[in-house]
Structure 1
């Protein structure tokens, strides 16, 4: 079962990468219906199918490359869903990690609903961001399931509150990244370190309204003003600095001592520098597709490394507890 969990974990990473690729190639509405594409299970290919598709959806001109980008993502996401269901049945029968298995099933079902709403609601930013966070949640659950499948580790307690706080800060940054992408604000600031304009004079809190109005019926290419997009992008950058500073200080403090968290802290630190570098490269090179997808995957790996740091802290607690119990027993003897 552990091999199947590893396979599902790797598949989840692929799905996140394909989701980013689909979003960044503006293919989120490449298929205007769900779960098929123009009423078919595959992308229309011959001239008669294409003519029928364009007749059924005259407001959405058929673009084969965008349709394929969207459908490939759906095929992989569907495969992940089926694998999670199989793993849940296996966990139920073996009575192993049933709670995580049921949670994974619930999240994958909700993810499917978010995928449908992404299309039917015309790329509504709140739904797009929620779909992104759902994918990262699914990845986290599968990772914890995989790492704790042998029963050797348990989630840490209160002593890990600094890492928990770091995880909350990181999730907030991922959400801001999703909001930036969903509102097409990635190119709104082209200067460094904050923005090329006097953003303090243009900052608008209504840029974060959960349900912005769209007069045309969808949200493709964004509906917010330039000032609102600048506000979103600036907030994403400022919180990125907060996230990087917090994790940098936390990891450096952990590396001061010799304990099981050192390797995990070093991994977090390495991924953190890579992620910052990718963010800067996105600005300097105007969001090249490969770098932008890597930035999304970097966020996923950084999140997993944070979970690994928590699990390493758990290992340290368990090890320390055993030493204390052993020492107490020896002293009593």
Structure 2
């Protein structure tokens, strides 16, 4: 296959990978919607719903479903959010498997192979966590890992999209050289990404333990800057017993307050760290073509922080809470995009010359 054909193939796969990214965001939003309407156990079995492919409706089907699961009577209003989420996740899985098959078929061309295969394998693991989420009755550890798995899948799909766009020649790089000070920002960028991932992890743990409503005032929590009686050991106990129905949560109020306050503090740390990092990047960006990527992270960061405040002020309204989850995904994606763009920048002549001079002096000595 010639270079032109490879470019066309990479371009087509990049379109499908972009579609998979969008679908992954939709799945994350549907997962948030399912949790927020307390429909995580709307179907007590997996992958069907009361043994049906769809939510049972009609007197006969509902009677059959209730006979199969007498302890969990059918609630159609809660069954549909869960099944819609599963349908979307299943569709995403099919698209990912399609990308993996295409990568295998064209493995002799310059098309990424390992990453699509890894994503396909991870999707299988993510499906298993979706099953355990139901069969283990919303056990917080599994729920949190399932949420993180969704964000991981999305991140990997974005990385695949960026690589495919590069293969297709869609992404253009700066022809000039950038300042050596800008090249030294890479550790700061990775530090920001780690903080964002940790904050998303805290958000997942907050959602899994229903701790979002533990504090209903701002900037204090229950009228105090540091609430009395917060139980961090209980709140972050990862050895919670398997077996109880965790719908609505099993933690004490003191444990949930500890989780909520930690998530708030994490948000402040992320805001200040990314804010200072972006300001430094902006000042050193000259000729690097990072303007749009920096501004994107800044806008998403501001929107995410504002949505977090609105969640507390307006007591977790459904629309704002779902948007907060989606914008968390947006912040992660924008950070990965910024790091990718930064990694594609040409090396500084100054830095190269300095490095060469240092080596020459060491050899001479």
**5 Å matches for 1:154-233?**
160-198=186-224, 199-206=226-233, 207-213=235-241, 217-233=244-260
The yes-or-no answer on 1:99 pairing with 2:114 is yes
In the alignment, what sits opposite 1:276?
Answer: 305
> CA–CA distance in 2 between the matches of 1:83 and 1:312?
26
In the alignment, what sits opposite 2:278?
Answer: 251
CA contact (8 A) 1:260 1:315 kept: no
- State the aligned residue count: 321
> CA–CA distance in 2 between the matches of 1:66 and 1:102?
34
Shift of residue 194 of structure 1?
4.0
> CA–CA distance in 2 between the matches of 1:231 and 1:222?
14
Shift of residue 60 of structure 1?
1.1
**5 Å matches for 1:47-126?**
47-95=59-107, 96-126=111-141
Match of 2:338 among 309, 315, 326: 309
The Cα offsets for residues 3-45 of structure 1, whole Å up to 9 and x where unpaired, read as 1111111111111111111111111000000000000111101
**5 Å matches for 1:3-42?**
3-42=15-54
Q: Secondary structure at the match of 1:145?
A: helix
> CA–CA distance in 2 between the matches of 1:292 and 1:182?
14
Structure with more contact order per residue of length (Cα contacts < 8 Å, sep ≥ 6): 2
CA contact (8 A) 1:44 1:50 kept: yes
The Cα offsets for residues 87-118 of structure 1, whole Å up to 9 and x where unpaired, read as 00111222221111121012101110000000
CA contact (8 A) 1:254 1:262 kept: no
The yes-or-no answer on 1:143 pairing with 2:181 is no
Pairwise CA RMSD of aligned residues?
Answer: 2.1
Unaligned runs of 5+ in 1: 329-333
CA contact (8 A) 1:194 1:234 kept: no
In the alignment, what sits opposite 2:4?
Answer: none
Normalised by the length of structure 1, the TM-score is 0.92
Structure 1, 205-214 or 305-314: larger mean CA deviation: 205-214
> CA–CA distance in 1 between the matches of 2:153 and 2:103?
17
CA contact (8 A) 1:129 1:175 kept: yes
CA contact (8 A) 1:194 1:238 kept: no
Normalised by the length of structure 2, the TM-score is 0.84
Shift of residue 217 of structure 1?
2.1
> CA–CA distance in 1 between the matches of 2:105 and 2:339?
29
In the alignment, what sits opposite 2:325?
Answer: 296
Shift of residue 315 of structure 1?
2.2
CA contact (8 A) 1:261 1:316 kept: no
In the alignment, what sits opposite 2:147?
Answer: 132
Shift of residue 159 of structure 1?
5.5
Shift of residue 54 of structure 1?
1.3
The Cα offsets for residues 153-201 of structure 1, whole Å up to 9 and x where unpaired, read as 8xxx985111111111111100101111110111111111241244443
